[in-house]
A and B are shown apart, each in its own frame.
Chain A
Amino acid sequence: DSGVTQTPKHLITATGQRVTLRCSPRSGDLSVYWYQQSLDQGLQFLIQYYNGEERAKGNILERFSAQQFPDLHSELNLSSLELGDSALYFCASSVARSSYEQYFGPGTRLTVT
């Protein structure tokens, strides 16, 4: 158990809809990272927050957005969903502002039908 929690575990929704994925980092961790893993793809970095502020952006679509709240939990919002958005979405956390040693949650599996 990494100490990072993600909800929900599974999510099935229709094209065009909007969903919110939630992540609670390990106690004491200030950085939260979001990744997407599509079929046969590596983990694609989406976005990072550090202590409530956006720190870096990766390959995140404009339809996607995220935020980190004062209690340090983070939410990833996905809107106007398309079939290709079906993937595993992982959240990770670290103590430091930038760290390659990240602690991953179990992921949320999103299926868009």
Chain B
Amino acid sequence: DQQVKQNSPSLSVQEGRISILNCDYTNSMFDYFLWYKKYPAEGPTFLISISSIKDKNEDGRFTVFLNKSAKHLSLHIVPSQPGDSAVYFCAVASGGYQKVTFGTGTKLQVIP
């Protein structure tokens, strides 16, 4: 039972353009929605989060959008840079204990 789904295993984008990574979740009870980035041979790194009471959160070139009615989360990277090439994991967490459930990841390639 996958609570978090990233249906696109990979994405290629030209440098300078926008990268849009998508994620769907099944449980409307989640409180926090997260994105982690992972480079080869390294562990995931926390990137950005959004709480369920918001619909948008920005941090520099990274913006996360939350559509609660559609149970959909997206990450926008503008402008995309070659250093952004990595695997991006969507994740969800509940309040209290805040167990984190990760998606399967989307591999982003930014082409110079």
A-to-B contact residues, CB < 8 Å? 2, 4, 35, 40-45, 55-56, 58, 90, 92, 98-107
Q: Are B43 and A2 interface neighbours, CB within 8 A?
A: yes
CB distance from B51 to the nearest CB of A (A): 10
**Bound complex: CA of A46 vs CA of B89, how far in Å?**
17
Q: Are A100 and B93 interface neighbours, CB within 8 A?
A: yes
**Bound complex: CA of A40 vs CA of B9, how far in Å?**
9
Q: A2, A35, A98, A99: which has the most chain B beta carbons within 10 Å?
A: A98
Report A-chain residues with C-beta under 8 Å of the C-beta of B103: 42
A56-B97, A100-B32, A100-B91 as given contacts; A105 in contact with B43, CB under 8 Å: yes
B-to-A contact residues, CB < 8 Å? 4, 32, 34, 41-46, 49, 89, 91, 93, 96-105
Report A-chain residues with C-beta under 8 Å of the C-beta of B42: 104, 106
A98-B98, A100-B34 as given contacts; A41 in contact with B104, CB under 8 Å: yes
**Bound complex: CA of A58 vs CA of B89, how far in Å?**
19
CB distance from B47 to the nearest CB of A (A): 10
Closest chain A residue to B46 by CB distance? A101
**Bound complex: CA of A56 vs CA of B91, how far in Å?**
18
A90: which of B41, B43, B99 is its contact (CB, 8 Å)? B43
Q: Are A98 and B96 interface neighbours, CB within 8 A?
A: yes
Closest chain A residue to B2 by CB distance? A42
**Bound complex: CA of A2 vs CA of B100, how far in Å?**
18
CB distance from A76 to the nearest CB of B (A): 15
Report A-chain residues with C-beta under 8 Å of the C-beta of B34: 100-101
**Bound complex: CA of A56 vs CA of B102, how far in Å?**
16
> Can you give 27 contacting A-B residue pairs, CB < 8 Å?
A2-B43, A2-B45, A35-B102, A40-B104, A42-B4, A42-B89, A42-B101, A42-B103, A42-B104, A42-B105, A43-B89, A45-B99, A55-B97, A56-B99, A90-B43, A92-B43, A98-B97, A99-B98, A100-B32, A100-B91, A101-B49, A102-B46, A103-B43, A104-B42, A104-B44, A106-B43, A107-B43
Report B-chain residues with C-beta under 8 Å of the C-beta of A45: 99-102
Report A-chain residues with C-beta under 8 Å of the C-beta of B97: 55-56, 98
